[in-house]
């Protein structure tokens, strides 16, 4: 597959914005910078941030054992997903394929870019239906979004199914691994070299505990990364975010400890939820949240709210009738949740 044929012509021909700082990044501190109309008085953030975030990407490159040229950072995964759609999908002509029930942003981002959405439901086990996907795809189907572990269903998509889709879908396959740190499945990062059409996205918003700084990470071939770099806003990752993220990556032990605690709490919660009398089903989870089916989702959602507990009501998602989604909280929060569920009638 030649990725070049999938990239929009206007993206191939555009001249990227060259920021003042691009040309002089190697020299840094002993130069006098009079090129970017900044305020010269140092307060820690008076200079524009590194547009390519080299320090942060070097650290990520080391942790993930992947070249810097295979990494792009975004202002949250959401920015990355938007850039991907804009590189590959011609407005009012191309389409993307999503597999509901899944993350709502793929659809929103496609809509804002005037890109058609073709939906192919996950099957009853929340796995992709390969034949239905390939039947629905046409020559304008540029991107297939796979979310694994999937939100809101919490399961991982089967590796053999994903592999089959990577081989047979004639476009870009994005695997959204926002929850991969909570799963025992291997990341697809390790297989980037095998599939030129593969893009893996991860985020610091979940296991890394940094939803507030907005940092998404995209891994793909050098060709795809350099193309995304051509259209990204020059200073998309601010200086405070770069610093905070780096501090966290330098102290990765904390992330591991917190993730282990969350997984332990998740398993306790799954056990306790199954003992609540109006809970009909607790779905298996590979993520930091749990999907359950109850007798009446609207009623239970409101009762929880009256008790000061906010959960996500997913009852209107396809195949999720009467489903609620709970994020795994602290031990105290989870105990309060369980106590409340056992008390309400």
Ligand X SMILES: *Cc1c(COP(=O)(O)O)cnc(C)c1O
Residue 100 is a binding residue for ligand X (CB under 6 A): no
According to CB under 6 A, which one of 216, 301, 334, 341 is a site residue for ligand X? 216
Residue 76 is a binding residue for ligand X (CB under 6 A): yes
Nearer CB in complex with ligand X: 98/151: 151
Alpha helix (H) residue ranges in 65-114: 76-88, 105-112
Taking contact as CB under 6 A, which single stretch among the options 9-17, 75-83, 125-133, 274-282 is the one that binds ligand X? Answer: 75-83
Tell me the closest approach of the beta carbon of residue 9 to ligand X, in angstroms.
29
**Total binding residues toward ligand X, as defined by CB under 6 A:** 13
Tell me the closest approach of the beta carbon of residue 176 to ligand X, in angstroms.
5
Strand partners for 293: 281, 323
Taking contact as CB under 6 A, which single stretch among the options 30-38, 70-78, 294-302, 324-332 is the one that binds ligand X? Answer: 70-78
Contacts of 233 (CB under 8 A, 6+ apart): none
Each residue 102-141 as x (binds ligand X by CB under 6 A) or -, in order, gives -x--------------------------------------
Nearer CB in complex with ligand X: 147/228: 147
- Show the tokens assigned to 156: 């991982």
Taking contact as CB under 6 A, which single stretch among the options 35-43, 192-200, 202-210, 334-342 is the one that binds ligand X? Answer: 202-210
CA distances from 56 to 74, 219, 270 (A): 12, 14, 36
Nearer CB in complex with ligand X: 48/103: 103
If residue 272 lies in a helix (H) or strand (E), which one and from where to where? helix 252-273
What gap in Å lies between CA 286 and CA 199, rounded to an integer? 21
Question: Could you tell me how many residues make up the chain?
Answer: 345
Strand partners for 145: 174
Tell me the closest approach of the beta carbon of residue 278 to ligand X, in angstroms.
26
Residue 237 is a binding residue for ligand X (CB under 6 A): no
Residue 151 is a binding residue for ligand X (CB under 6 A): yes
Sheet holding 312-313, edge to edge: 279-282, 289-294, 323-327, 312-313
Contacts of 125 (CB under 8 A, 6+ apart): 155
Task: Report cis status (omega within 30 of 0) of the bond before 217.
Answer: no
Nearer CB in complex with ligand X: 188/272: 188
Residue 49 is a binding residue for ligand X (CB under 6 A): no
Going by C-alpha positions, the residue among 83, 127, 128 that lies closest to residue 105 is: 83
Nearer CB in complex with ligand X: 177/272: 177
Residue 176 is a binding residue for ligand X (CB under 6 A): yes
CA 308 to chain centre: 29
Residue 323 · residue 317 · CB < 8 Å: yes
Interface residue list for ligand X (CB under 6 A): 76-78, 103, 147, 151, 176, 178, 203, 205-206, 211, 216
């Amino acid at each position: 597959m030649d990725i070049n044929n999938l990239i929009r012509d206007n993206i191939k021909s555009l001249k990227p914005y060259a920021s003042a700082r691009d040309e002089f990044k190697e020299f840094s501190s002993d130069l006098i910078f009079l090129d970017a109309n900044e305020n010269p008085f140092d307060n820690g953030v008076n200079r524009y941030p590194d547009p390519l975030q080299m320090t942060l990407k070097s650290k990520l490159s080391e942790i993930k054992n992947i070249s810097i040229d295979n990494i792009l950072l975004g202002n949250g995964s959401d920015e990355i997903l938007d850039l991907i759609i804009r590189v590959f999908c011609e407005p009012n002509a191309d389409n993307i394929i999503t597999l509901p029930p899944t993350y709502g942003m793929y659809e929103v981002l496609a809509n804002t870019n005037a890109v058609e959405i073709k939906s192919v439901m996950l099957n009853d086990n929340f796995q992709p239906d390969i034949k239905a996907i390939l039947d629905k795809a046409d020559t304008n189907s540029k991107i297939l979004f796979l979310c694994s572990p999937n939100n809101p269903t919490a399961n991982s998509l089967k590796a053999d199914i994903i592999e089959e889709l990577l081989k047979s879908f004639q476009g870009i396959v994005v695997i959204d691994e926002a929850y991969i740190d909570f799963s025992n499945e291997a990341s697809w990062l390790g297989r980037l070299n095998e599939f030129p059409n593969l893009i893996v996205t991860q985020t610091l918003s979940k296991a890394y505990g940094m939803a507030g700084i907005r940092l998404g990470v995209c891994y793909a071939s050098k060709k795809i990364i350099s193309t995304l770099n051509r259209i990204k806003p020059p200073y998309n990752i601010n200086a405070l975010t770069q610093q905070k993220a780096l501090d966290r990556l330098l102290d990765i032990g904390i992330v591991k400890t917190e993730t282990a605690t969350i997984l332990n709490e998740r398993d306790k919660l799954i056990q306790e939820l199954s003992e609540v009398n109006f809970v009909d089903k607790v779905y298996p989870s590979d993520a930091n949240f749990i999907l359950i089916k109850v007798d009446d989702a609207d009623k239970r959602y409101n009762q929880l709210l009256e008790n000061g507990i906010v959960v996500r009501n997913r009852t209107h998602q396809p195949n999720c009738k009467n489903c609620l989604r709970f994020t795994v909280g602290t031990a105290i929060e989870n105990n309060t949740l369980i106590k409340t569920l056992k008390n309400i009638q």
